[in-house]
Amino acid sequence: MDAAAKAEPVSMLSKNKKLLGIALVVATILYGGLGTAAVEVLQQGPAAPIIGQMVARIVEQSHYNHHPLDAKTSQQVLRNFLESFDYNHMIFEKADIDEFTAHYGDKLGDMLKEGDISPAFEIFNRFLRRIGEREILVRKYTAAGFSFDSNESMIIDRHELPWPASAKEAKNLWRLRVKYELLQERLNKTKPEEHVKTVNLRYERLLRSYREFDASDVLQSYLTALTHAYDPHSDYMAAPQMENFNISMKLSLVGIGAVLRSEDGYAKIVSLVSGGPADKDKRLKPNDRIEAISQGEGPWVEAVGMKLDRLVQIIRGEKGTTVHLRVIPADAIDPSTRVVITIVRDEIKLTDQEARAKIIETSLFGKKTKIGVIDLPSFYADMKSVIESKSTTRDVEKLIAALKKEAISGLILDLRRNGGGSLSESVALTGLFIPEGPVVQIKDARGLIKILRDSDPSVTYNGPLLVLTSRASASASEILAANLQDYGRAVVVGEKSTFGKGTVQSIVELSQYLPGALKTFKPGAVKLTIQKFYRISGGSTQNRGVLPDI
């Protein structure tokens, strides 16, 4: 997670007169219509042009860099979008790239600001066509077979190389790729009869996964290509991603408590969340496959071939409502057996992602000693709730109180897999270990510096403290580690450096800007870099990270 502040840019945007122009262009899109190119497979949804326009204007006006969405940025957006599907330059051909660059290279920014997102769907549909051609090539080459008695070579990571100059060059690249993968299977000592099957299945699944893309997925990729042209930590989150983000922050969701994965077109049960509705019901089992789903008194909807996150959205719902699953049991003797399982949705607490504590008993200087360890995976917080909302700081404070009752001689705070989260929680958590004082400096796009402080003079734990870090420790966890280091409050032990992220993101929900005619759509949100943060010593963690003491 990134260090996430409250949605401060929203108030800035509401005051920005330029943004009021959105309403005028919205009317043009809804009633005058901006022409879009006909596409072969997938077409944009009715709200997509407005969402694209809103994101483009918000990013241009409110991102920390205040960089215009000009021709140079447009070129980067195009490159990002192309490489989001073809990172190793194996799917498209040079002619495709030249065509897209000529038509859109300098214009994507202006088109987005006008609500024209047709290039995203034209490019994606070309990609679908190309990847279908590549999958046919794979089956052709695996069927023909190879002899491994000649010297040939290929570069596996082609990211820095040009796209193939012709169809002939592309075919040869794929011939070498398939030969390489078959050789890998042989070197891995898999069964000879499985070599071809494994490689074919790999690309069948890849093709299927992209064919399952819907308009929302394409828009997500396109607008993320835009935000990443400004910085790698700004993102567009479509409605499903926004919901997942909220779940990760409040550590709870409403559903049945089943972990799924996609396998050969089916959603397979991987595991059940302990204490969740499915676990309590006892009928749904790991490795069962979901064939169809219905809600309440509604009709059955086939789940075979359905995109996994779409199925997850259907399974989730309101607390107390019912969902019906038609399941193929993993242990059924008759393969035609189908079982209907009805489960009532309920709130599920994701306790495995909460802060946890344990005690390590060891011998120190010949004396038995208890060391408390708190594992903190993220800085979670329910930002939308004010009554008994989920809070990292409150959870850790309770854990420390429990550890102190066990008479611990020292405390280890493990941040090694903590990717960040709520900025306010990082500040509050620092206050558990220090008296009142400054915690972090944040600077906005205008150059104004604000100091966030711990104003509570009380200290929850003042004993020996050690902080564990790794390259995965990022953002809010870097703020905490740096604070405790700068105050001389803890010894930081870890890898050579932490991740090195020194920026703050805010969540701008787009629903507030949708016109009335589109209020039923869920437009998602923009996670936007709005500030940079600095240690109380004045240094930045950007790129450099937090260097350990040991």
Helix (H), strand (E) at residue 524? none
SS (H, E, C) 274-302: CCCHHHHHCCCCCCCEEEEEEECCCCCEE
Query: What does the alpha-carbon distance between residue 200 and residue 314 come to, in Å, rounded to a whole number?
Result: 31
Residues 6 or more apart from 420 whose CB is under 8 A from it? 1, 2, 3, 378, 379, 474, 475, 476, 477, 478, 501
Pull the structure tokens for residue 302.
Answer: 């086939």
Q: How many CB atoms lie within 10 A of CB 66?
A: 11
For the chain, the straight-line distance linking the first and the last C-alpha, in angstroms and rounded, comes to 26
Alpha-carbon span 277 to 260, nearest angstrom: 15
Query: Where is 494: in which H helix or E strand?
Result: strand 491-494
Of the candidates 250, 307, 390, 501, the residue annotated as catalytic is 501
Strand order in the sheet with 367-375: 356-364, 367-375, 410-414, 465-469, 491-494
The residues facing 267 across adjacent strands are 262, 290
- The radius of gyration computed from the CA coordinates of the chain, to the nearest angstrom, equals 26
Q: Is 477 a catalytic residue?
A: no
> In degrees rounded to 5, what are phi and psi of residue 240?
-65, -40
Instruction: Tell me if residue 209 falls in helix, strand or coil.
Output: helix
Report whether 178 contacts 145 (CB < 8 A): no
User: What b/e sequence results for 91-102 when a residue is b if at least 16 CB atoms lie within 10 Å of its CB, and e otherwise?
Assistant: bbbeebbeebee
CA dist., res. 502 & res. 542, Å (int):
4
Burial 348-361 (b: 16+ CB within 10 A, else e): bbbeeebbebeeee
Candidates 106, 279, 281, 486; catalytic one: 486
**What is d(CA 97, CA 11) in angstroms, rounded to the nearest whole number?**
40
Tell me if residue 486 is catalytic.
Answer: yes
Residue 96 CA to chain centroid, in angstroms? 29
Give the 3-state secondary structure of residue 431: coil
Cβ-Cβ contacts under 8 Å for 243 (sequence gap 6 or more): 313, 316
Place of tokens 């701008």: 508
| Contact between residue 222 and residue 212 where contact means Cβ atoms under 8 Å apart | no
475, 477, 497, 506: the catalytic one is: 475
Q: What is the DSSP string of 316-355?
A: ---TT-EEEEEEE-TT-SSTT--EEEEEE-EEEE-GGGS-
For residues 4 and 505, what is the distance between their CA atoms, to the nearest angstrom?
Answer: 5
Residues recognised as catalytic:
475, 486, 501
